[in-house]
Amino acid sequence: MQFLKKLGVTSHDALIDWDITPAKTYGMFECRGDMDIVRSKDQRYYYFYIDNWQKPARLCLMERGIRHAKVLAHIDAPLDLLEKCIFRQGKTLKEHSYAVDGPVKEWLFEHVIDNNDFSKVHVLDYDADEDPTESGLPATKEHLSHHKTSHFRNIPAFISEHEIEKIVANGDFFESVSNPNGRFTNYLVDPGDNLTVIDMATGLMWQRAGSDHSSFRKMAVWEKRLNGNHFAGYNDWRLPTVEEALSLLNAEVNKKGLHIHRCFATTQGFIYTADRRKPGGYWFVDFRHARVFWAGGTLSGGFGRLCRTV
């Protein structure tokens, strides 16, 4: 399709799936529910959806794979068109990612796809011209020694959904659903190893990258291996608690569409925390939508980014 080629998609058989929905992609990719469709880790699926996590709603083009989720572009569609589409599907939908309906599809074909008008298409640049080793942060030695440090819980716990709301409020963390006016601010500095950053606001050292997509069980094996190899010179790396992971969220979105400082890798769009959900599941922090959510840790899985107390 010419539209996808304009966005840099080089696969000759790449097509936009107009029938797939955001909810269905969860079953296909995270839960691997439809193996007749998802056959290879090299496959990619493209679809439009409406992101209503933050206001105003916006129309997006998603690229999905088994271990891969990336918003390729935002499209300037009329807001009333998007809001009517949301209304028809129901605003009480738990996941605020909506499928495009007939009127939205018609608008896309008429104003964007059929006439190859890219004036309304804003491509997200995931191949930034930045040096990946350049963090854009002050060096550790330059930090203010009197900077106030907030020490958050670092022991894993079983936490209910109601308790999550209290955690967000007590830490005044930015969270797009329950606390969009959160004011907690981190203070990241660069120790100069190209592997980690230190947050002077929390006293935590973080991996700048992280793990591949895996189950919680395999995540534990990966964590043990990094500690055995003394990653970045240390052997006390661990998964963060919900509070610690929330401390990385920023209200502003970086150039790659994540609510986190640009020094962090974009592969880990959401990460496991060390906390379990009561009565079942695992808690995650999502940097794409700036929220806390829970899911299973077996078939669905997730990414990891470890931290340690300095």
Residues 8 and 81: beta-carbon distance below 8 Å: no
Tell me how many domains the chain contains: 2
Q: Could you tell me if 280 and 185 lie in one domain?
A: yes
pLDDT at 130: 47
pLDDT at 308: 97
Per-residue confidence of the chain (310 residues) as pLDDT tens digits?
678 888 888 877 788 989 888 877 766 666 556 666 777 777 888 999 998 877 799 999 998 877 677 888 899 999 999 999 999 988 655 568 899 999 999 999 999 998 878 899 988 766 554 445 677 788 776 555 556 788 899 999 999 999 999 999 999 999 998 999 999 999 999 999 999 999 999 999 999 999 988 888 899 999 999 999 999 999 999 999 999 999 999 999 888 789 999 999 988 989 999 999 999 999 999 998 899 999 876 656 789 999 999 9
3-state secondary structure (DSSP) of residue 183: coil
pLDDT at 224: 96
Q: Could you tell me if 144 and 118 lie in one domain?
A: no
Q: Could you tell me if 115 and 161 lie in one domain?
A: no
Q: Could you tell me if 228 and 292 lie in one domain?
A: yes
pLDDT at 129: 43
Q: Could you tell me if 197 and 288 lie in one domain?
A: yes
Q: Could you tell me if 112 and 53 lie in one domain?
A: yes
Q: Which domain holds residue 250?
A: 140-309
DSSP 139: B
Q: Could you tell me if 282 and 213 lie in one domain?
A: yes
Closest C-alpha to 50, from 4, 9, 16, 87: 87
List, in sequence order, every residue forming a beta bridge with 241; answer none if it has no partner: none
Q: Could you tell me if 271 and 171 lie in one domain?
A: yes
Q: Could you tell me if 275 and 173 lie in one domain?
A: yes
List, in sequence order, every residue forming a beta bridge with 90; answer none if it has no partner: none
Q: Could you tell me if 175 and 227 lie in one domain?
A: yes
Q: Could you tell me if 183 and 305 lie in one domain?
A: yes
**Token pair for residue 189?**
């500095």
d(CA 74, CA 49): 10
Closest C-alpha to 100, from 24, 48, 60, 23: 48
pLDDT at 44: 85
Closest C-alpha to 124, from 50, 62, 67, 74: 74
Tell me if 31 is assigned to some domain.
Answer: yes
Q: Could you tell me if 75 and 204 lie in one domain?
A: no
DSSP line for 248-289: T--SS--TTS-SS-TTS-SS-SEEEEEEEESSSSEEEEETTT
Closest C-alpha to 20, from 78, 67, 63: 63
Closest C-alpha to 57, from 78, 39, 41, 88: 78
pLDDT at 102: 94
